[in-house]
Structure 1
Amino acid sequence: MPDERILMGVVGRPHGVRGLVHVHSYTAEPADLPTYGALLDDSGRRWTLVWRGDGVAEMRDEQGRPLPDRNAAEKLVNTRLSVERSRLPKTEDDEYYLADLVGLAVMSAEGATLGRVTAVHDYGAGASLEIAGEGQPILLPFTRACVPSVDITAGRVIAVLPEEVVVATDAPTTAAGPDQHPA
């Protein structure tokens, strides 16, 4: 089973001088992030947040104390906020959390093994899968065109690699220097 915590958001840069922070929410509706209750950081500290503006929140520690100032807010930049998986709604048969994809085998439409999903990234323009196999990891957009099938029960995804993506093959037989191309 995937990690028992699901990433729900990340603390961004401070906002002003009174301890407020920008928070990037990964929930379907960003405003819903506080409804999950206490959020855990990677060291297990519990935080609650109250939205104070569009994407701007007041963070409160376990004792209910808000961050006192900008310096305290700066120390939380890039803090990952998670919840225990058991606090999230159950998924429908054809639904899953992105965290469920990590560890799945990645197969081509022809049945060739391409590797395993090692991470799911989302930098704001849509999710991408990091796939480790032979050679360098591949970053694949998590779109229907590139990932037409996800089967959590079978433990695999089907991937259609764009033509620009080259998977590892045997090394070329012609040696070339650093400024030369093989013939």
Structure 2
Amino acid sequence: MKTQLVHVGTIGKPHGVRGLVHLHPCIENPKDLETYGELVDDRGERWTISWQSSKAAALYDSQKKRIEDRNTVEKLTNRKLFVPKDLLPEPEEDEFYFSDLIGLQAKIKHEDQSEEIFGTVHIVHDYGAGVSLEIKRDQGENALIPFTKLCVPEIDVKSGWLLVRPPNEVEVRPSNEKDQS
């Protein structure tokens, strides 16, 4: 079985001229980026970090050699950093790793309690103002659903599905209804 990697941070712009970088953590405690050991970037390169201040870190390559010049770290800007999921703590009840949501089947439950497949969670978006799920639909355009308890009232990661209640702004047609236009 292949080890699942989880996005834990992104390398930002250089900080100064001595090779420090701004790091943008995707985890609750940014200091944990140091304790995970080797981080793998989206190109397969391995890094370790050492925080130098609350906003800047030193990067070390797979040979444990510190990157010491601005031009080199500038080329690393926007690289995503990952760790194996098994290094992370189990999420609390009603908490989820975004990577666990991708691929779940999205269902709608109708008033008569019948269920319909709405699509599959394709992407989880988090732009800072709230998380949304992009649901890939078999027919029609993808739908964006706010990731709130109101719009996603039930999630069963182990069984591979979640229940969605799209807001009124998302047009939902029953799968048996043909496009009449």
Normalising by structure 2, report the TM-score. Answer: 0.84
Counterpart Cα distance in 2 of 1:45 and 1:8: 15
Asked if 2 retains the 8 angstrom alpha-carbon contact of 1:106 and 1:157, the reply is yes
Q: Secondary structure at the match of 1:30?
A: coil
Counterpart Cα distance in 1 of 2:180 and 2:56: 53
Asked if 2 retains the 8 angstrom alpha-carbon contact of 1:126 and 1:141, the reply is yes
Superposition misfits of 4+ residues, deviation over 6 angstroms:
none
- Map of 2:81 onto structure 1: 81
Give, as a single letter, the amino acid of the residue that structure 2 aligns with 1:141: P
- Map of 1:180 onto structure 2: none
Q: Secondary structure at the match of 2:21?
A: strand
Q: Which runs of 5+ in 2 are unaligned?
A: none
Counterpart Cα distance in 1 of 2:95 and 2:3: 17
Question: How much identity, in percent, do the aligned residues show?
Answer: 44
Aligned 1:107-126 pairs, distance under 5 A: 107-110=107-110, 111-126=115-130
| Shift in CA distance, 30/126, structure 1 to aligned 2, threshold 3 Å | farther
Aligned residues: 173
Counterpart Cα distance in 1 of 2:127 and 2:18: 27
- Map of 1:148 onto structure 2: 153
Counterpart Cα distance in 2 of 1:127 and 1:55: 24
Q: Which runs of 5+ in 1 are unaligned?
A: 174-183
- Map of 1:128 onto structure 2: 132
Residue 160 of structure 2 corresponds to residue 162 of structure 1: no
- Map of 1:28 onto structure 2: 28
Asked if 1 retains the 8 angstrom alpha-carbon contact of 2:39 and 2:47, the reply is yes
Q: Secondary structure at the match of 2:31?
A: helix
Residue 58 of structure 2 corresponds to residue 58 of structure 1: yes
Q: Alpha carbon RMSD of aligned pairs, Å?
A: 2.2
Q: Deviations over 1:125-150 (max 9, x none)?
A: 33221110122212222111221111
Asked if 2 retains the 8 angstrom alpha-carbon contact of 1:107 and 1:157, the reply is yes
Match for 2:179 among 159, 171, 176? 171
Q: Deviations over 1:23-70 (max 9, x none)?
A: 111112223221111100122211111112233211111122222222
Counterpart Cα distance in 1 of 2:130 and 2:57: 23
Asked if 1 retains the 8 angstrom alpha-carbon contact of 2:3 and 2:84, the reply is no
* TM-aligned CA deviation for residue 94 of structure 1: 5.4
| Shift in CA distance, 172/41, structure 1 to aligned 2, threshold 3 Å | same
